[in-house]
Structure 1
Amino acid sequence: MSATAFALLPHAAIAKTVGAAVPARALSNPLASAEAQALYGYIWSIYGTKTLTGQQEQNFTPAGARVELDYIQRVTGRQPALLGLDYIEPVDQLAVNERATAWHRSGGIVSLCWHWGAPDIGSGYENSKKDFDVARALVAGTTQNVAMLAQMAHVADLLTVLRDRKVPVLWRPFHEFGGDWFWWGKHGPQAFKALWRTMYEFFVVDRKLDNLIWVLGWAGQNIDPAYYPGRDCVDVAGADIYVDDHGNQAGLFAQVKRIVGDTVPICLHENGPIPDPATLGPEADWAWFMTWHTRWLQNPQQNSPALLREYYRSERYVTKDELPKW
C-alpha cells in the first residue's frame, strides 16, 4: 500500500490546522483552553528537574476503580500526581468521566487512553488486538470508515463532557503504536499517522476539544521515527517499558529524544518498576512515569512497599499534594 493511500480523511468545513509551525513550549492547538495551557506550562516548568508520579487504575470493570490509589495511600501516605484512566469498556465510560472529574477537582492530573476494540468487531482489550482494515477505514463511506468515525464521535462526546467541566486531559490515543499487537499498529507508520491526524483534526477542529494535551506513546520495543506524526499535532512524546529493574531507562529516553529533541516533554508513559529517582537527570529527564495496575504495582518483585514508600517521598518525584492549586 502506498503512502498516498493513507491520506487524511476529509471532514466538512475543516480549516487545516496541522502543518503549521508551533511556538516553543506551546500546545499544538493554538485555541487550547486556559486549563490545558496552565497544565502544559506547569509540565514544562518542572521538566528537567522534577518528575510527576503517575498510576494507571484498574478500571476494566467498575469494581476495579480505586484499588491502586487505595494501595498507594496505604503504603506511602501519599497519592500520585497523575491518574491514568481508560475508555476501554462502554459500561464504565460514564463512570470514568466522573472519576476523572473528581480527580481533577481534588487537585490531580488526568491522563486518558482508549484500548479501542476493532471498530467492526467490538469493545474490550482482546478485541483491541484483533485486526481491522485500516486502509478501508480511511476511505470515506466504507463500512469500516462509518464504524470507525461513529466510535470516534462517541468518545469525542465523552471528552466534551470533560471539556465543559474544564478538565484538562493528557490524551494518549493509539498507544504502543510501534508494536503489532493493537490494530492501529498492525499496518505500518503511514497508516498510523493517517489515523492520528484524522482523530486530531476531528477532535480539535470539528469537535473543538480544546482541553486535550496530545501524548504520543511508542512501545519500548520499537522506537521508529517513521511513526512520528509531527510537532503540529503532538504535545508530549514518550515510550513505555516493563523490564524488571528500577533503572532510569536512559537508552529509551535517548531514542525518543533523537526524534523530538527539545520540542516537547518526554514521558515514561507506562512502566512496570518505577525508576529509581536518584538515577534521573539529563540522560533520563522523564516528565512523568505512570505505573501500570495490578501486578505491576503490587507485586513485590516489581515495586516493593519499601521502595514505593521511598520513591514517593523523594525530592525528585512530585506527588498530588505537591501540585499547584489549579
Structure 2
Amino acid sequence: MTSPSPEAAAAASTPDAVVDYLHRISGNHVVSGVHNKEPLNNPSQYTAQAHTLTGKWPGVWGGELGFRSDDIANRQTLINQAKTEWNNGSLVSLTWHMCKPNVTSCEFDGGVNGSSLSDSEWQQLITDGSALNSAYKSKLDTAVPYFQQLKDAGIPVLFRPLHEMNEGWAWWGGRSGANGSARLFQITHDYLESKGLDNIVWVWNVKDTDANNGSAGVAGFYPGDNYADVASLDPWVHSWPGSNWYQALLDVAHGKPISLAEVGAVPTPAQLASQPQWTWFMIWSEYLTSANSSSRLQTTFNDARVLSQGQLTISGGGPTDPPAGSGSGAVSGVGGKCVDVAGAGTGNGTAVQLWDCNGGSAQKWTVGADGTVRALGKCLDVTGQGTVNGTKVQLWDCNGSGAQQWSAEADGHLKNPQSGRYLDVPGGSTVNGTRLQIWDRNTNPWQTWHLPT
C-alpha cells in the first residue's frame, strides 16, 4: 500500500471516490469503525473510548440521525461532529432508526422495534401520493438539510437506511420481493437523490438471521445494482459470518464492495484474513467494551491489515487509475475469489486461475510501472500472444512482449492492449481452478478486478 496521507480524507470528495477506494482495499485491507448511538448531544463518545483503549481513532465514524425528540433536536451537533471526523481523516457513516412514517418522534420500543405495518398500510406506503407515502417522504425531508450541509462541505456519506431489512424487528423489515422492503429502499434512494443529494454512498444492509430463508434469501431484499453502492451484513446471530453469509453477500453485491456494518465482538486478524473482501467493520457502540477485552481490541486495531483514522487515501475528484508500480498484493474478482498461480508453480505455461483468497505467494501480484502484472518472479501472459476471445492466460518469463502488457481502467477492467481484450472469467464461474482468459469488454461482474494499492 502507498504511504498514507493524514490529510487526504479531509479534502472535498465524492461517493465515486469513496467506492473506488473501497474497491482498492478490498482483499488486502479493512477500515476500522465504531458506531456512536444516541444521545446525539454526545456524538463521538464511543469513538473516544476506542481511542482510549487502542491508541487509534477508528477510520469510520458512525452516527445516528435519531428517533426521540431530544435527539432530533441535536442533529446539528451530530453533523458538526461528522465534519470534524472527516476533517480528521475518517469516513462518515450515518444510520437512521426511523419512527413509523406517520409518527414525528418515538421511543425505540413500539416506535421502531415491534411496530409493524399491516399489509394494507404497507401497500399504501409504497404507493406514490398516498397519505403514508407522503408522510414517509416528509420524514425524509427532515434529514435533507443535514445531508445538504455535508454535501456543501464536500463530504460523501455512507448512508445505511432501513437496515437489517431481511428481519422483521423494525416496521420496515421482513418483506421480501419486488414490493417489499427493497421497494422502500428504492423510494428512499430516488427521493433523496431528487433533492440533489448526490453525496450519498448507498449502503444496503441485512442481518445474518435464519428468517426469510437465511443467507439463501438475501437476494429477495436486494434493491438492485442501481440503488446500492455497498452491500453490508450485521452478524449478530453468529458473531462472525459463516462462509454461507460471506458468499451470499459477495454474490448479491455483483462486484460491489461489502462491509460489516455492525459487529459486537471485533473481528480477529485471522478472521479478517479468512474473509478478506470485507472493506470495513463497525463495532456497535456499547459492545466496544461489553463484548471485547482491551487486548482483543488492541490486537485487531494494530494489525497491518486494519486501517484507522489518518491512513485513508480518498481522492478528491472521483475514481482514478491504480497507481502504477505501487501495488503488491491480491487481485480479486467475481465471487470474492483471487487470481492465483496454479500450485504456486513457476514453470513457463503454469495456469493462472481463480481460487479462494488465502494470502499465499501464488496470489501476491505486483502491478508494475512497465505495464506488467507479476507473481513469483514471472509475468501474467496471454498464451501464444493470442488475440482471439477465449485465449487462456498463463505465467511466463517476463519478456517485454505485448502479451504481457496490461492496462488498469478506472472501473476495474484489466485490458491487454495488444489483443484489445480483457481479463475474464469464463461464464463468470466461481469454481476453484477456473482458468482465466481474455474476452471482449463487457459489463459482467466477472471482468471487474480489484487491484492492490
TM-score, structure 2 as length reference: 0.60
Matched residue type, 2:133 = N
Residues 5-61 of structure 1, C-alpha deviations (whole Å, 9 max, x = no match): xxxxxxxxxxxxxxxxxxxxxxxxxxxx94222222211111110001011012x21
Q: Of 120, 130, 147, which residue of structure 2 is paired with 1:142?
A: 130
Matched residue type, 1:298 = T
Shift of 1:99: 1.1
Bigger mean CA offset, 149-158 vs 131-140: 131-140
Q: Does residue 121 in structure 1 map to residue 121 in structure 2?
A: no
**SS of match in other structure, 1:268:** strand
In 2, the alpha carbon distance for the partners of 1:275 and 1:249 equals: 13
Residues 92-141 of structure 1, C-alpha deviations (whole Å, 9 max, x = no match): 22211111111111111000111111011343422112123221122233
Q: Does residue 79 in structure 1 map to residue 73 in structure 2?
A: no
Matched residue type, 2:261 = H
The corresponding residue for 2:313 is 324
Q: Of 291, 297, 310, which residue of structure 1 is paired with 2:299?
A: 310
Shift of 1:207: 1.1
In 2, the alpha carbon distance for the partners of 1:102 and 1:235 equals: 24
How many residue pairs end up in the alignment? 287
Matched residue type, 1:238 = S
Shift of 1:266: 0.9
Q: Of 6, 16, 21, which residue of structure 2 is paired with 1:42?
A: 21
CA contact (8 A) 1:242 1:273 kept: no
CA contact (8 A) 1:137 1:145 kept: yes
The corresponding residue for 1:102 is 84
Bigger mean CA offset, 174-183 vs 99-108: 99-108
Shift of 1:238: 1.4
C-alpha change, 1:46 and 1:186, in structure 2 (3 Å) is: closer
Q: Of 240, 243, 267, which residue of structure 2 is paired with 1:275?
A: 267
Shift of 1:143: 2.3
In 1, the alpha carbon distance for the partners of 2:134 and 2:17 equals: 36
In 2, the alpha carbon distance for the partners of 1:200 and 1:63 equals: 28
In 2, the alpha carbon distance for the partners of 1:290 and 1:320 equals: 13
**SS of match in other structure, 1:217:** strand
**Bigger proportion of residues as strand:** 2
Bigger mean CA offset, 277-286 vs 153-162: 277-286
Q: Does residue 297 in structure 1 map to residue 285 in structure 2?
A: no
Residues 157-180 of structure 1, C-alpha deviations (whole Å, 9 max, x = no match): 321121111111011111000000
The corresponding residue for 2:370 is none
Structure 1 gap segments, 5+ residues each: 1-32
Q: Of 226, 249, 252, which residue of structure 2 is paired with 1:256?
A: 249
The corresponding residue for 1:229 is 223
CA contact (8 A) 1:267 1:287 kept: yes
Residues 167-201 of structure 1, C-alpha deviations (whole Å, 9 max, x = no match): 11011111000000111114433221221111111
CA contact (8 A) 2:208 2:237 kept: no
In 1, the alpha carbon distance for the partners of 2:201 and 2:76 equals: 21
CA contact (8 A) 2:230 2:253 kept: no
Bigger mean CA offset, 207-216 vs 249-258: 249-258
**SS of match in other structure, 2:169:** coil
The corresponding residue for 1:266 is 258
**SS of match in other structure, 1:110:** strand
**SS of match in other structure, 2:105:** coil
In 2, the alpha carbon distance for the partners of 1:97 and 1:289 equals: 22
Q: Does residue 198 in structure 1 map to residue 187 in structure 2?
A: yes
C-alpha change, 1:290 and 1:153, in structure 2 (3 Å) is: same
In 2, the alpha carbon distance for the partners of 1:237 and 1:314 equals: 24
The corresponding residue for 1:219 is 207
Q: Which fold has the larger relative contact order, with Cα–Cα distance below 8 Å and residues 6 or more apart in sequence?
A: 1
In 2, the alpha carbon distance for the partners of 1:248 and 1:184 equals: 23
In 1, the alpha carbon distance for the partners of 2:146 and 2:122 equals: 24
Residues 201-248 of structure 1, C-alpha deviations (whole Å, 9 max, x = no match): 1122x1121111111111111442111111111110011112575x56
C-alpha change, 1:199 and 1:248, in structure 2 (3 Å) is: closer
Shift of 1:64: 4.0
Matched residue type, 2:82 = A
CA contact (8 A) 1:249 1:284 kept: no
Matched residue type, 2:227 = C
Matched residue type, 2:278 = W
In 2, the alpha carbon distance for the partners of 1:101 and 1:34 equals: 13
The corresponding residue for 1:165 is 153
CA contact (8 A) 1:85 1:111 kept: yes
In 1, the alpha carbon distance for the partners of 2:251 and 2:261 equals: 17
Shift of 1:280: 2.4
**SS of match in other structure, 1:194:** helix
**SS of match in other structure, 2:172:** helix
**SS of match in other structure, 2:310:** helix
CA contact (8 A) 1:249 1:275 kept: no
**SS of match in other structure, 1:157:** helix
Matched residue type, 1:307 = R
